[in-house]
Structure 1
Amino acid sequence: MIDVADEALTLPAPIAVLDERQALLERWAERHGVDAARRLAEAEDLADAVAAEITPDNTLDTYAKSWRVWLRFTAATGLPEGEGSRGALIAFVSWMLREGQQNGKGYAPSSASTHLAAAVVGLRKRKVAVSGDDQGEARAALEGLAVKLLQAGERRGRGQAVSADVGGLRAIVRSCPDTLSGDRDKALVLTGFNYASRSQDPAGLQTSDVTLHARGLVVAVLTGKTKHSVRNAKIGYAQDPELCPVRAWTSYRTRLVAEHGQQWADPSTPAFVGIDQWGNVTGGMSPDSVTRAIKRISERAGVPIHWTGHSLRIGLASVGRKQGKDGIAIADQGGWARHSRSMLGYMQRDDGWDDNAAAGLT
């Protein structure tokens, strides 16, 4: 056996997996030689770095939260945290639905599904073997138990966020005060609706990402989670000037520069700025501040059910479908994969009567 250590082959892997990496390097060295093994080790480090780079922060947060749920489960049941057997995963699912939350209540099936998937990722990251068949059985058990909850009349979870609509947009525009903050609110909501924004999208925009075009605006959305959601969304002038996102954006940016200085025209400045109660600009908006702003804006307008950070995204899909827009065009504008299941879910039905597959057939 070739002694890789004698050949000064370095091991840059984390301490927790040094032994496993060393064994792997030795196999590579025996098969391909020390130099090739060194290059393969560097490639492994690059692969780890790429995986870390392309994993969104919110996904990492979900992994961390779900692992804490798994640890609470193993502590409560006395099962070892480093085992991902069929029985352990099904017991995890059952425990989550029964009492998994920290307040002792059961999770909604959708939350339990997220935690199951992320816990499996956590187990595999820690070198615990979890077979696809065992994970599949746990997911099947979750789906079956969710049906039992529905049959018992128990519906858990907040449900889908309320959809933005044209009436709500009009109420919001009319409720915005004639201030920089009011102009910012109008631009935030009207542009966000027209490109189906998530909260992180306007928070991540720089001034240079929103450009004027002869026919409207082009918004370069760079904060997307998939290759579909990173896009250049085109937003045209609205027929109704009151609801025009292009005019709202132009008015807001013109006022920002006029009241707070030419530095805000710099392409590298945030597209949407935070503004305190005294009218001072506080810097760029964060995803949380966008979510809070949309809720506050809709509340001020008297929208019956307050909007959330996801309402604008749902609104484009829902309103677009009602007005007969092509599904592929909606997907491209909003950054969904064509025929995306989540997009189809956002194409909400109001009451099930007008938009009904059986309506008018006989």
Structure 2
Amino acid sequence: MADSQNAVEAVVIPAAPGRPEEYDAATRAALDHIDHQAVRTVADGRPERTRKGYAQDWASWTKFCAESGVPLLAVTPGTLVMFVEWLWTQPGWKKGTFTAPSTIDRRISGTVVSARADHGMRLEDGIARLARNRLKQLVKEMEEKGETRGRGQAPPLLVDHLVSISAACPDNLMGIRDRALVLMHFAVAGREHELASTRVRDYADAPGGIQADLRVSKVRPRVVPVPYGSRLSICPVRAWQAWKEAACLDDPDGYAWRRLHSRWHTVMEGGLQPESIGDVITRAGERAGIEIRFTGHSPRRGLATSSRLKGHDQIVIAKQGGWAPHSKVLAGYLEVVDQWEDNALLGVL
């Protein structure tokens, strides 16, 4: 046989892939750039309200650094503890008050996220653990002294309140809008920004009521089934249909919840801002003569409370409002109800 037939073919062994520690400076720089761009892309995809919140948190960190002499990018466990102690002494939302613990906790999160996303810092996991432990100590000391901070939890807006609010809404465009907004806000256990972002097409007719598509959410988008109510005065489906007809909301891409002209009270093209959604809720309660001051979070908490009073499971309530199935916040709302329904003293005294 020919030599070529007898020859053993050479086996080509591919070179071993280079290890990350062997990368040259140019490769490492290119990979760092890719990582930073990926972080920025995800950060830019956050809701506008979330981005504004993080910007405020970083501005607070910047002020702290300027006053304390800490380098701006020196985000470490120790400097975050210093940040907490500095925030603890800062004035709160109202004259004569100090920063609420919940605000401080958010400032910590926003600072860490901004350092990673906006400044390309590689921070260790759990970097804020020590700062949060310090915050817990300060809160405990505050409670032992009988002090309070912040506005506290939003009061729940319950079904009886809805009845009063609906009855007090005037028979004009503002009253029709406010009634529909309050009832839908309650029905979907919505967040202010979720309602503000909805368009007409997001409330689709269904055999049993409406499918509310809350496509813009800081947590996760969800489609919420809203059935017809048993009472006409507080039925969110009928209230929405009345508003849609009265406001001539014919453009499916137009905002669902519109502003009204301050003088002529005509429907405008622009939608309500998240803060304005909360203002509508507050004014609706005041109009009805309810002494409780409701906020934009009150309908959300009210749905959770009212649903629990009717015996619904936490998983079902969480799905309606877009909470995590085992949300600690939701569990806290439900505990207020459960403490009376599942009490160790029932049947004892």
Choose from 132, 141, 147 the match for 1:148.
141
**TM superposition score normalised by structure 2:** 0.84
- Which runs of 5 or more residues in structure 2 are unaligned? 1-22
Aligned counterpart in structure 2 of residue 195 of structure 1, from 185, 188, 195: 188
Q: Is the 8 A contact 1:83 1:128 kept in 2?
A: no
Question: Could you say if the C-alpha distance between residues 28 and 318 of structure 1 is closer, same or farther in structure 2, counting changes exceeding 3 Å?
Answer: same
TM-score where L is the length of structure 1: 0.81
C-alpha deviation, 1:133, in angstroms? 5.4
Instruction: Give yes or no for the alignment of 1:323 onto 2:310.
Output: yes
In structure 2, C-alpha distance between the alignment counterparts of 1:24 and 1:318, rounded to whole Å: 59
Cα distance, 1:225–1:214 mapped onto 2, change above 3 Å: same
8 Å CA contact 2:50, 2:218 repeated in 1 = no
Over 4 Å off, 4+ runs: 40-46, 100-105, 127-130
Cα deviation, residue 46, structure 1:
5.7
Q: Please state if 1:281 is matched with 2:267.
A: yes
Q: For residues 1-362 of structure 1, what are the structure 2 equivalents within 5 Å?
A: 26-27=26-27, 44=35, 47-48=38-39, 50-99=41-90, 106-124=98-116, 125-128=118-121, 130-132=123-125, 134-227=127-220, 230-257=221-248, 264-277=249-262, 278-283=264-269, 284-347=271-334, 349=336, 354-355=340-341, 357-360=343-346, 362=348
CA contact (8 A) 1:201 1:223 kept: yes
Answer with 1 or 2: which has the greater Rg. Answer: 2
State the 1:41 CA deviation: 8.0
Cα offset, 1:151, TM superposition: 0.8
Report the 3-state secondary structure (helix = DSSP H, G, I; strand = E; otherwise coil) of the residue aligned with 1:157. Answer: coil
* SS of corresponding position for 1:232: strand
Deviation at 1:315, TM superposition (A): 0.9
Shift of 1:56: 2.1
Task: Give distance in 2, aligned partners of 1:334 and 1:85.
Answer: 36
Distance 1:126 1:232 in 2: 35
Note if contact 2:211-2:224 (Cα within 8 Å) is conserved in structure 1: yes
- Structure 1 CA distance for aligned equivalents of residues 42 and 62 of structure 2: 24
Equivalent residue pairs, number:
322
The answer to whether the 8 A contact 2:47-2:216 is kept is no
Structure-2 separation of matches of 1:84 and 1:207? 44
Alignment RMSD: 2.6
Q: State the Cα deviation string for residues 269-323 of structure 1 (Å, max 9, x = none).
A: 2212212343211222221221111111111111211211111111111111111
Q: In structure 2, what is the Cα distance between the partners aligned to 1:28 and 1:90?
A: 32
Matched to 2:311, the amino acid is G
Opposite residue 332 of structure 2, the aligned amino acid is: G
For residue 27 of structure 1, report the CA deviation from its aligned partner: 2.6
